[in-house]
Amino acid sequence: MASRERIGLIGAGPSGMALLRAFSLAEKAGTEVPEVVAFERQDDWGGQWNLDWRTGADKYGEPVHSSMYRDLWINGPKECMEFPDYPFDRHFGRPVPSYLPREVMSEYIRAHMQDVDVRGQIRFGTAVRWVEKHDDGRFRLTAQDLVSGETVVEEFDRIVVASGHFHTPHVPQLPGIESFRGQVQHSSDYRSPEGYVGKRVLVVGSSYSGQDLALQLHRAGAQHVTTAYRKQPQGVAWPQGMDEQPAVQRIEGNLVTFDGGTSAEFDMILLCTGYLHHYPFLPKELALGGPNLLCPIGLWKGVVWHADPDVLYVGASQQLFTLTLLEAQAYFARDVLLGRVEVPDAEERQADMDAWFTRMTQIDGPPAALAWQGAYIQDLSSHTDCPAVDVEAVAETFLQMRDARIEDVRTFRDRQHRSTVTGTMAVAHHTPWMGAFDDSAEDFLR
């Protein structure tokens, strides 16, 4: 009898959790599954959702994983992130508002794991140092137990990388930034707004972090918040005390000049410039690189590493659908590993990757981006028994949110949306978001 296959899973955030759960459900249904051993640097699962008051280095001196902050509320309605097999109705037992604070969302993700017993497969507090493929085709994974310091060396047949891509900041060299006389912080190091109160703040970047943090600083009492966008204006109706400008052209002391020639003085700069794909434990030939894309380059179906299909990634794509996207990828990865999904030959993989990539390049706005990722999720799920998401309805909900945000960035989180799973309509929160400065689950659910 051949020995049981061994899978090394790197990371036990939402992606790794989804994979462990998918395997466990298959096993419960009578499928023989490989041995999956997960390595997680943190002491608990949950990945990004584990708020850490520290920045820079954690208690072991390892890079802090989470970039979340106090008063982080989800930036899209919860109805866009609902697990079809674990509706919010079941979790909360009653209708709740559409926008959840971090702690509440984190509890939901953890509660989704209730129906499986997989924590024993995870080596917590263990940092993967290096992975290499040997001539016999097996992988040797070297890790360190951060508590004991002991080296852990294990052999695996295949590797799944689920270490996330929101932990290592992309910190671009803005022209003249060395001359800036004030605090420069990347959003990954932002934890609370107090230092920004009364200040003239430049937020560089208008993606998720930039959108949310500009608003957080505004509501906390920054004197003025300017967001510099790279590609196109957000086009929202800015309240007094906020505005947007094109990209930073140069910085001279406290004076910042934007493309087009406008300039203004700032006290602080908050870099919301995104994150890098950073896999320092992988040799180049196995490591995903490039920008954050819906369709990461080099991954067949966004999951299987084209150059070596014994390496899979879960959660490496740019996220619109978030949790349900990760789940679709996790089920797909599981079924590749179980042999239920056949990995075609290189030529066919390349043709498929090219087709998806080409469609991605034709995206002309948020509706098309949502349609792309919806179709992608459906494609993945057509090969697996991943609980089906009504991607059109979710996309519609996202677009409602977007319209509400354009109308008023301050109030869009006070809107309520309907579950695409149960049809339940969300209820208003007890406090308008602009004045909600208690982000505890206790206060939210009172």
Task: Select the span of 280-288, 334-342, 364-372, 395-403 touching a second copy (CB under 8 A).
Answer: 280-288
**Which is closer to a second copy, CB of 24 or CB of 185?**
185
DSSP per-residue string spanning 222-281: -SEEEEE-SSS-----PPTTEEEE--EEEEETTEEEETTS-EEE-SEEEE---B----TT
Other beta carbons less than 10 A from residue 388's beta carbon: 15
**Contact at 8 Å (CB) between 225 and 308?**
no
Among 112, 186, 200, 405, binds a second copy (CB under 8 A): 186
Rg (CA), the chain: 22
Measured from the CB of residue 356, what is the shortest distance to a second copy in angstroms?
24
The reply on whether position 177 binds a second copy by CB under 8 A is yes
Residues 132-151 that bind a second copy (CB under 8 A): 132, 142, 144, 148-151
The reply on whether position 171 binds a second copy by CB under 8 A is yes
Task: Select the span of 13-21, 25-33, 173-181, 296-304 touching a second copy (CB under 8 A).
Answer: 173-181
Count of alpha carbons within 13 angstroms of residue 140, beta-carbon side: 7
Measured from the CB of residue 130, what is the shortest distance to a second copy in angstroms?
4
The reply on whether position 219 binds a second copy by CB under 8 A is no
The reply on whether position 315 binds a second copy by CB under 8 A is no
Measured from the CB of residue 345, what is the shortest distance to a second copy in angstroms?
26
Tokens 């999720």 belong to residue: 377
The reply on whether position 414 binds a second copy by CB under 8 A is no
Q: What is the dihedral of CA 185, 191, 197, 199, to 10 degrees?
A: 10
Among 188, 226, 324, 419, binds a second copy (CB under 8 A): 188
β-bridge partners, 132? 140
Measured from the CB of residue 403, what is the shortest distance to a second copy in angstroms?
34
The reply on whether position 440 binds a second copy by CB under 8 A is no
Task: Select the span of 22-30, 182-190, 233-241, 377-385 touching a second copy (CB under 8 A).
Answer: 182-190
Contact footprint for a second copy (CB under 8 A): 53-59, 61-63, 127, 129-130, 132, 142, 144, 148-151, 168-173, 177-178, 180-186, 188-189, 191-192, 194-195, 267-268, 276, 278, 280-281, 283-284, 287, 289
